[in-house]
Amino acid sequence: MPNTRPLSPHLGIYRWRVNMWQSTLHRLTGLYLCFGALIVAWGLIAAATSGGAWNIFAAFCASVIGQILLFLWTWSLLYHLCNGIQHLLRDAGTGFGPPRRDREFAPSYWSAGWIVIVLSVVLTVAVWVLLILRVAGGAA
Q: Which residues bind other proteins (CB under 8 A)?
A: 27, 30-31, 33-34, 37-38, 40-41, 44-45, 47-48, 51, 54-55, 62, 74, 77, 81, 84-85, 87-88, 91, 127, 130-131, 134-135, 140
Q: Per-residue b/e over 43-64, b at no fewer than 16 CB within 10 Å? A: beebeeeeeeeeeebeebeeee
Q: What secondary structure letter does DSSP report for 101? A: T
The residue (of 31 and 118) whose beta carbon lies closer to other proteins is 31
The residue (of 62 and 100) whose beta carbon lies closer to other proteins is 62
Cα–Cα dist 75/12, whole Å = 28
The residue (of 48 and 64) whose beta carbon lies closer to other proteins is 48
Q: What secondary structure letter does DSSP report for 15? A: P
